[in-house]
Chains A and B, each alone.
Chain A
Amino acid sequence: MTATAPLLAIRGLRKSFGGLQAVHGFDLDVPEGSIVGLIGPNGSGKTTVLNLVTGEIAPDGGTVQLDGREMIGLPAFRVCRARIARTFQLVRILPGMTTRENVLIGRLFGAAPTTPRHAGREIDALLDRVGLADRADQAGAQLTYIDQKRVELARALATQPRLLLLDEWLAGLNPAELQIGIELIRRIRGEGVAIVMIEHVMEAIRALCDHVVVMSAGGLIASGAPDAVLHDPEVARVYLGDDDA
């Protein structure tokens, strides 16, 4: 797909749950520092791909290589330390810990583990970057939805990823928040982090993605530049519907 070797290369990824083929023969290249959009209707296997890549579940077959290193077979914590970070479709905040602690744990156990004492200033900078500086000491349970999403993003970034997997991170934001979110993702990419984003918000996909792949029923049905893919009649048929295309 690209001249140089991609950062992430997925080949022939397969997973069945009982009789259901959730993912079959999925291929994907993510070049260094790029943003790839992963779209498709609900139940098409997008989140399963993320779970397979991050070691949450084991595939039936296929390979996932980060910079030539095989990720399949590694437990989730090793994939994280190999510098692949993720957020979750349903926000997973640690309700009994403060915002700062929620983010701190990414730094303590991620790619470059350190001690609580040494992480302090870095965490403050990170909180500032995602717009949480003034809520650092609030309990996770008290944060608003958008702030919980920010915490998740900051926690993922704190692990120091080369590849960030966002599972509908922009879903549920109001138009103003969406602009902030898009800008934030753009800045993260600007710092050299490659991103795979599962997303339904077309505005964000057009604004951010270099490349879009479309999944339907566990397989790839289209792949290319955002505008071309979003105007593909087959994509419109399975996914976008008549009013959005």
Chain B
Amino acid sequence: MRRLVARVLHAAAICTVVATSVFVLLQFAPGDPFASALDGSDVPPGVGAEWRARYGFDLPPGERFIRWSGALVHGQLGYSASRHRTVAGVVTDAMPRTVLLVGVALVIGFAAGIAIAMIQARHHRRWPDRVLGALTLGGVAMPEFLLGLLAMTWLGARWRLFPVAGLASLGDVATWPLWERAIDLLWHLALPAGVLAVSIAARVARHQRAALLGVLHEDYIRTARAKGLGEWDVLWRHALPNAIGPVIALLGLALPALVGGAVLIERIFGWPGMGLTLFDALLARDYPLVLAAVLMTTIVAVVARTLADGIAEWMAPHRAPVS
């Protein structure tokens, strides 16, 4: 319990430092949401200043930081000038979509990765191991967004199996019955989540295969085999529980990179989550929204990593106390 509290505090500290440093950096950023509209030569002098004052852009950085962090504690993230609504509103719309995308990809990718590693360990150094080894190497070597482009080219654009962009079909989707809307959503999720899942599966499989082969020399494995257990049972009931903890911890370390990959996937497939929000905000120089997007993706990564560490510790084999 104390370690749990320490872990949560640690995660909170990370988020605070990240929020502060991003805020400070953005103070040096050129331009603001008014630059394109009000800094032209045809705008009378003083108008720009008046509008900046109205939205608090004329305050000194220190006061802006205090106001911004004070509002943050209350769950407010400022006003998004490019979307004409609160940043918190934009985030509440976009965040669940990113969590859905990354969550589905993680679950499928993790399960598939474990399954691949089991097959490889079962047939160590025979052709299934070699073929799957080559495939997982390819899956790790090819960045998510490149795989996304290939999937989009063939599965989406050429063979027209899956939609290549957006959350839902065009038309009066809102009037459809709930389950049809759910299926439509999943159908649109197939390519982006599938691509991410392939990347995750490849990484998990490579770590898990090594971890499984590492424990297969242990005495308890020999004991299990000597009891007459089948090789699959040995792997599933004895090797895997002892080998899975470090893999989850490693996956936790890789999560920030996976969130980064998800950001690009969202951009490629027009999936309107935090990643796409980030790109839109950057192009519009909508800094409160940029700040929120960077902060939120970091929080997703930190939370997921804290969870992964916790799970890894919980899954780690415990020795019975010696009496």
A associates with B: no
